[in-house]
Structure 1
């Protein structure tokens, strides 16, 4: 049921956001050199690595690490990078990952391949069995502001409470947070 819902919703969201997808792609292309999409190595279900696309908001050559770990992350942003991140428009290409089954709309956010602390804690608590999500319970409860142990505890809570209606609640809360631009540091 969840896979069918994800696939159906991905079609609807893609149709709604087709024009913004094209506009953002053109804006990224025009405002900075390099590819429009950044394909990030991420950790998926059962700790399998997959390639996750995002609109490129950072300059070519930025170290592959969590933004909060960069010294002066603002220096790496493209001219429209801050806007893309705060508006979450950089996340739209992840619809592709939902289409191909690497991600769901709701689940723990996929860790970067080198976030060993997050990957290890998720495996320890059994969260690694979940398909990662475009959004999740941790995202609507703090997003970038949460330390790793707090994220994992929220991921565990999602694992225990997951249901269709809980996913709907998380999607609604995500919509509200994105409109308010809450929880994004850069």
Structure 2
């Protein structure tokens, strides 16, 4: 049932949001050229690697010229990039990852391969027992201010309590947070 919801909601969202997706793609291209998408290797269900998609929000080759994580006033981020990051629009291409089966709408955020070393073997197996998500319990409870340990705790709680009803609640909480952010 979860996979059916993922496919249905992703298809509907892609159709409804297609004018916005096209507009953002054009804005990224006009400001900084191709590629419009940023692809990054992430780990999914069972620890399998996949290429996660995002709208590119940094200058081309920015990963080669700066630290792994972005910082306040990071000069690698473009003007369009600041806007699409602040509004989470940069994450919308992940709906394609959901359709491909790489991701779910709800689940732990997918890690990059280097992050595997941060987990105990038991926690890693539990975390990779579900598809990673565009949003998850850690995103609605801790946002980006949560420590790694807090995010892991939320992720493992999600895995323990996974259900369609829980996913619907997390999607609702995500929509509320996005609505509050846009109202400010």
The TM-score normalised by the length of structure 2 is: 0.89
Give the number of equivalent residue pairs. 178
Gap regions ≥5 residues in structure 2: none
The TM-score normalised by the length of structure 1 is: 0.88
Q: Is 1:140 the counterpart of 2:140 in the alignment?
A: yes
State the partner residue of 1:150: 150
CA contact (8 A) 2:129 2:159 kept: no
Distance across 1 between alignment mates of 2:99 and 2:136: 18
CA deviations 1:105-147 (Å, max 9, x no partner) are: 00001112222345x25x5321111100010000001221111
Q: Is 1:98 the counterpart of 2:98 in the alignment?
A: yes
Distance across 1 between alignment mates of 2:30 and 2:50: 28
Residues 12-161 of structure 1 mapped to structure 2, 5 A cutoff = 12-63=12-63, 69-70=69-70, 74-118=74-118, 120-121=119-120, 123-125=121-123, 126-161=126-161
Secondary structure of 2:51's counterpart equals strand
Secondary structure of 1:69's counterpart equals coil
Structure 1 position 33, deviation (Å): 3.0
**Structure 1 residues 171 and 72, CA, compared in 2 at 3 Å: closer, same or farther?**
closer
Distance across 2 between alignment mates of 1:101 and 1:175: 22
CA deviations 1:39-94 (Å, max 9, x no partner) are: 11111111111001100011112227xx8834556211012111101101001110
CA RMSD of aligned residues (A): 1.9
CA contact (8 A) 1:25 1:36 kept: yes
Distance across 2 between alignment mates of 1:151 and 1:73: 24
State the partner residue of 1:5: 5
Gap regions ≥5 residues in structure 1: none
Instruction: Report the more deviating stretch, 22-31 or 171-180.
Output: 171-180
CA contact (8 A) 1:87 1:179 kept: no
Distance across 1 between alignment mates of 2:159 and 2:17: 30
Structure 1 position 176, deviation (Å): 1.2
Instruction: Report the more deviating stretch, 172-181 or 101-110.
Output: 172-181
Distance across 1 between alignment mates of 2:12 and 2:45: 24
